[in-house]
């Protein structure tokens, strides 16, 4: 039997409300979403997680091959959000909706315009299917463009159910970054994996910085794009026979290229003008 409770008696409970820069939030989502698992059946990895703490939000994702985090400054928050309140999980499809609805645009005319987005996390209480059953909580996130005097575009999306198997990406990356630096002679990366990080380079309009660390059974690569994005990927390792083959290829190049110059001259400086 369907619950016939009057919907007007049901109240939403706001858990937190924060305001962020729209462009900064968009860049974080664009850089990180590609690192979430594409297979919806891997529900613990098929999600983008927003960790919300005092003054800062980490947008994270991981699929077992790569992991990534981008940070977003919180411009304003209510009293509840002043402390660490946990995280909010969104599906990749819903993140796509956010990127489609909220745009920054060009600021050629008004450079001083602040593009702001208010993010409210709340719980709606829905009637249960059976009479007398407790109300069913349905968490959701409501996003509103608050750049001007009058609120603009708005979007409401469901929050994914909690999954205890979802990785704690901030702690994972903290362990990898804190590990001792290492040097890799030769390593491999598939085009698909390295291509994920080009999204961050494009989102933040910068180059990728790559370093190696040794903190466990195998080396890890730490990939950064500017100051607000960091990720990691495990490079491919090769058995000794394949390494020998790879070295032989390099030796073939040395045999077939002309002899090196005794004094090649100064190396060109990136971005410098060519000599006349």
**pLDDT tens readout for residues 197-246:** 999 999 999 999 999 998 667 789 999 999 999 999 998 888 889 888 98
Whose CA is closest to 37, among 54, 49, 27, 55? 49
pLDDT attached to residue 7: 43
Q: Which pLDDT does position 125 carry in this prediction?
A: 81
Looking at per-residue pLDDT, the higher value among 12 and 247 belongs to 247
Q: Can you give the pLDDT at residue 272?
A: 59
Assigned token pair, 145: 């463009």
**pLDDT one-digit tens code per residue, 47-78:** 999 999 889 999 999 999 999 999 999 999 88
Look at residue 94 and tell me if it is in a domain.
yes
In this structure, the answer to whether residues 14 and 84 fall within a common structural domain is yes
On whether both 198 and 115 belong to a single domain, the answer is no
Task: Flag whether pLDDT at 15 surpasses 90.
Answer: no
Cα(25)–Cα(202) distance, integer angstroms: 14
Q: How many CA atoms lie within 13 A of 10 on its CB side?
A: 16
Comparing C-alpha atoms, which of 92, 81, 32, 91 is closest to residue 56? 81
23 and 143 housed in the same domain: yes
Residue 170 pLDDT exceeds 90: yes
Structurally, the chain folds into a number of domains equal to 2
- Calpha distance 160→61 (Å, rounded): 14
pTM, two decimal places: 0.84
For 106-134, write each residue's pLDDT tens digit.
Answer: 655 455 678 999 999 988 887 766 666 67
The residue segments making up the domain with residue 226 are: 169-256
Residue 5 has a pLDDT of 40
Identify whether residues 75 and 201 lie together within a single domain. no
| Helical packing angle, 191-204 and 22-32, nearest 10° | 170
Same domain, 142 and 199: no
What is the predicted pLDDT for the residue at 236?
Answer: 85
pLDDT of residue 134: 73
Contact indicator for 243, 66 with CB cutoff of 8 Å: no
126 and 223 fall within a common domain: no
Query: Looking at residue 79, what is its pLDDT?
Result: 54
The C-alpha atoms of residue 35 and residue 62 are separated, in whole angstroms, by 5
**pLDDT above 90 (res 82):** no
The pLDDT value given to residue 12: 78
Cβ contacts of 246 within 8 Å, gap of 6 or more: 186, 238
pLDDT of residue 188: 87
């Amino acid at each position: 039997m369907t619950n016939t409770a009057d919907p007007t008696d049901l109240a939403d409970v706001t858990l937190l409300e924060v305001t962020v820069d729209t462009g900064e939030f968009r860049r974080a989502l664009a850089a990180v979403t590609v690192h979430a698992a594409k297979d919806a059946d891997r529900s613990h990895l098929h999600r983008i997680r927003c960790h919300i703490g005092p003054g800062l939000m980490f947008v994270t994702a991981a699929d077992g091959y790569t992991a990534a985090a981008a940070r977003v400054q919180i411009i304003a928050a209510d009293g509840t959000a002043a402390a660490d309140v946990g995280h909010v999980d969104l599906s990749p499809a819903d993140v796509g909706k956010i990127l489609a609805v909220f745009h920054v645009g060009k600021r050629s005319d008004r450079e001083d315009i602040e593009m702001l987005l208010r993010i409210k996390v709340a719980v709606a209480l829905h009637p249960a299917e059976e009479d007398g059953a407790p109300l069913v909580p349905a968490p959701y996130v409501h996003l509103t463009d608050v750049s001007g005097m009058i609120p603009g575009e708005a979007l409401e999306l469901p929050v994914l159910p909690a999954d205890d198997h979802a990785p704690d990406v901030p702690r994972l990356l903290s362990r990898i970054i804190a590990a001792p630096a290492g040097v890799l002679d030769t390593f491999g990366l598939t085009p698909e994996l390295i291509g994920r990080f080009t999204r961050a380079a494009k989102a933040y309009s910068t180059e990728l910085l790559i370093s190696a660390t040794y903190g466990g059974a195998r080396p890890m690569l730490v990939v950064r794009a500017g100051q607000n994005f960091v990720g990691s990927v495990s490079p491919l390792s090769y058995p000794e026979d394949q390494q020998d083959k790879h070295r032989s290829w390099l030796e073939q190049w040395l045999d077939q290229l002309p002899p090196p110059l005794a004094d090649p001259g100064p190396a060109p400086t990136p971005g410098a003008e060519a000599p006349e």
